[in-house]
Amino acid sequence: MATRTWAPPGPLDLGRTLGVLARGPGDPAYRVAPDGAVWRASRTPEGPGTIRIAARAGEVRAEAWGPGADWLLDTLPALLGADDDPTAFAPRHRLLHEAHRRHPGLRLARTGLVLESLIPSILEQKVTSDEAYRAWRLLLQRHGEPAPGPADGPAGRMRVMPDARAWALLPSWEWHRAGVDGKRSATVVQAARVAARLEEAAAMDAERAAARLRLVPGVGPWTAAETLQRSNGAPDAVTVGDLHLPKTIGYALTGARGTDDARMLELLAPYTGQRHRACRLILLTGIRPERRAPRFSVNDIRHL
């Protein structure tokens, strides 16, 4: 076990900062312990690693295990938003002003790991969250490896995602068993085959990084934004093409229903450079239009 203590430069809400990295409540690579500590299992450039992060009294203490332990500790400040500048955000709507005031500890996490965020984002394309979370969970449980760390703690029930070669060689029936259709599985395989080039995007500015990701067939603006929000901590990577986000943003800021992408981008224009942060703050308010249509049914291709 290796350890590190770090003092954030300002308020830090550990749960809200890192919560976006969890892919559903049963994510095998992410756990929140009863004491509030966050556990993450990652495949780093140095190999698999597990990190436990706890924040108390203005200080963060982290413990890490496995070949990737030192890498995880070295990148801890970036993960917790040390490169993020919340003061660059100037709220111009009373709702955003209040949300910004209520959540001073929100930071935009930067994992520095592209494939780790890209693959689950691909799995979330054109399906319900429940379907995507189930697929991610099943794939990690069947093809990931046990997370390093104490077996009698959360790490004992966690998994590290497969490496790029394992993703590329996953047979078609395993994708089918996880409920992933051929289009999404083909996109993951294509991404895995050029994983080294994609990981370079973690050190690029958001525009160049998005262009790099979109060279992969099947990766569009939605998937690139969802990835870079996590891997690069990109404050302006606004998600377009989402079924619910435009409606939520439009309703929260204007009270109107049925907002589309174009109108959402108009409403977010005053926050150019910080549009992703604006979206995060709006979502934290919990203000959403009342659902008027039935939920989408879950299409389980495993039974076909």
- CATH number of the domain that 123 lies in? 1.10.340.30
Asked if residue 137 belongs to a domain, the reply is yes
Q: Indicate if 155 and 196 belong to the same structural domain.
A: yes
Q: Does 180 have pLDDT greater than 60?
A: yes
Among residues 232, 257, 272, the one where a domain terminates is 232
Mean pLDDT of the chain: 95
**Does pTM top 0.75 for this prediction?**
yes
Token readout for 273 is 């450079």
Q: Indicate if 217 and 281 belong to the same structural domain.
A: no
By the 10 Å C-beta count (0-12 exposed, 13-18 middle, 19+ buried), 217 is classed as exposed
* Res. 298 pLDDT band, cuts 50 70 90: low
Asked if residue 281 belongs to a domain, the reply is yes
Q: Indicate if 257 and 188 belong to the same structural domain.
A: no
Range of the domain at 172: 114-232
φ/ψ of residue 257, rounded to 5: -105, 160
Q: 3-state DSSP call for residue 61?
A: strand
Asked if residue 151 belongs to a domain, the reply is yes
Domain count, the chain: 2
Q: Indicate if 226 and 251 belong to the same structural domain.
A: no
Q: Which pLDDT score is estimated for 290?
A: 85
Asked if residue 156 belongs to a domain, the reply is yes
Q: Which pLDDT score is estimated for 297?
A: 55
Which residues partner with 48 through β-bridges? 43
Q: Indicate if 182 and 220 belong to the same structural domain.
A: yes
Q: Indicate if 222 and 277 belong to the same structural domain.
A: no
Q: Indicate if 182 and 274 belong to the same structural domain.
A: no
Q: Which pLDDT score is estimated for 291?
A: 72
Asked if residue 162 belongs to a domain, the reply is yes
Q: Which pLDDT score is estimated for 175?
A: 98
Q: Which pLDDT score is estimated for 75?
A: 98
Percentage of the residues of the chain whose pLDDT score is greater than 70 = 96
Q: Indicate if 125 and 207 belong to the same structural domain.
A: yes
Cβ-contact 12, 107 below 8 angstroms: yes
Asked if residue 238 belongs to a domain, the reply is no
pLDDT tens, position by position, 246-265: 999 999 999 999 999 999 99
66's CB contacts (< 8 A; 6+ apart) are 47, 48, 49, 50, 147, 148, 149
88's CB contacts (< 8 A; 6+ apart) are 235, 273, 274
Q: Indicate if 131 and 180 belong to the same structural domain.
A: yes
Asked if residue 64 belongs to a domain, the reply is no
Q: Indicate if 203 and 164 belong to the same structural domain.
A: yes
Q: Which of 43, 71, 41, 30 is nearest to 165 (CA)?
A: 43
Asked if residue 189 belongs to a domain, the reply is yes
By the 10 Å C-beta count (0-12 exposed, 13-18 middle, 19+ buried), 121 is classed as buried
Q: Which pLDDT score is estimated for 146?
A: 98
pLDDT tens, position by position, 86-111: 999 999 999 999 999 999 999 999 99
Q: Indicate if 178 and 275 belong to the same structural domain.
A: no
Percentage of the residues of the chain whose pLDDT score is greater than 90 = 95
